[in-house]
């Protein structure tokens, strides 16, 4: 065994990739995880009353020195005149440490100008490798879900197209949840991204995107309830990764998809 403190990043990554090639699919923590307690916590979350909107996080410069990364991000995002300029501004942004550990910048996929824009949480391993959001197992499920209501990221017609991005453009280590400071410094880019893409409807996939744009958490309470952000109608939905873990929740996701389809096409079609 190589001591953990003796591993440089390149060696650590090589060892991890070797284990993946051997078929490892789970990272076992040093402490046990009580799955029964997690299930009980989810049940308690569903029963709890809605939380009051939180105040957006503010990030203090490390050690009290240097510019505020949120202010830097806000200025860089505001200067972007189009999506290509915004992607370049993100690539040049040095305020987020996640950039150093990621392989690629995951900016967006789909059709700019699509009626529906999906905002997810953060890239995973497959997304980090390919440089596109939602391309792993969860992404494949997402594609099947939206295809069921006639929407696709590959569609040429904006009326049937999807445009997809994430709150974070870089993969967090070990797929951990983004921290509040990371969300805060990426939020100006997300807001500018939405303004430039100009969708009619936002779909927020999971807790993190709701935390960023609605200042609320508790996706099991929020899902399926239309709300508003940045002047647009918003539909929160459970993340496809959650649906892979909890297949019984797919019936709620289907209900949400039907609600989205009805919002986009409120006039019933004449089938006679």
Separation between Cα atoms, residue 109 and residue 24, nearest integer Å? 29
CATH tag, 67-264: 3.40.470.10
For the chain, which residues make up each domain, given as ranges?
67-264
pLDDT at 18: 65
CB atoms within 10 A of CB 159: 13
Q: How many CB atoms lie within 10 A of CB 249?
A: 15
Note whether 161 and 247 are within 8 A (CB). no
Rounded CA separation 243/85 (Å):
35
CA atoms within 13 A on the CB side of 75: 8
Task: Give the pTM.
Answer: 0.75
Residue 44 is predicted with a pLDDT of 65
Per-block mean pLDDT, blocks of 10 residues, the chain (272 long): 61 69 59 60 60 46 69 97 97 95 96 96 95 96 97 94 97 92 97 97 97 94 96 97 95 97 78 46
φ/ψ of residue 163, rounded to 5? -125, 130
The distance in angstroms from the start CA to the end CA of the chain is: 71
Cα angle, residue 130 at apex, residues 124 and 135 outer, rounded to 5°: 60
Residue 23 has a pLDDT of: 58
């Amino acid at each position: 065994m190589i001591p953990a403190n003796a591993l440089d990043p390149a060696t650590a990554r090589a060892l991890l990739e070797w284990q993946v090639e051997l078929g490892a699919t789970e990272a076992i923590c040093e402490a046990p995880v009580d799955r029964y307690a997690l299930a009980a916590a989810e049940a308690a979350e569903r029963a709890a009353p809605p939380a009051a909107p939180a105040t957006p996080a503010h990030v203090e410069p490390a050690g009290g020195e240097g510019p505020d990364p949120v202010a830097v991000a806000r200025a860089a995002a505001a200067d972007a005149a189009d999506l290509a300029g915004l992607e370049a501004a993100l690539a040049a942004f040095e305020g987020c440490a996640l950039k150093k550990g990621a392989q690629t910048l995951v900016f967006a996929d789909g059709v700019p100008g699509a009626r529906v824009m999906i905002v997810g949480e953060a890239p995973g391993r497959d997304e980090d490798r390919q440089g596109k959001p939602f391309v792993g197992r969860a992404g494949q499920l997402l594609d099947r879900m939206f295809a069921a209501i006639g929407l696709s990221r590959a569609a040429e017609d904006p009326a049937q197209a999807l445009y997809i991005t994430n709150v974070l453009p870089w993969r967090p280590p070990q797929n951990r949840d983004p921290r509040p400071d990371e969300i805060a410094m990426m939020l100006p880019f997300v807001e500018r991204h939405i303004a430039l893409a100009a969708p009619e409807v936002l779909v927020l996939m999971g807790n993190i995107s709701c935390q960023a744009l609605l200042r609320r958490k508790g996706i099991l309470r929020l899902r399926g309830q239309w709300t508003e952000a940045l002047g647009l109608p918003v539909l929160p939905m459970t993340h496809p990764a959650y649906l892979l873990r909890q297949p019984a929740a797919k019936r709620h996701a289907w209900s949400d998809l039907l609600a989205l389809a009805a919002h986009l096409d409120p006039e019933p079609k004449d089938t006679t």
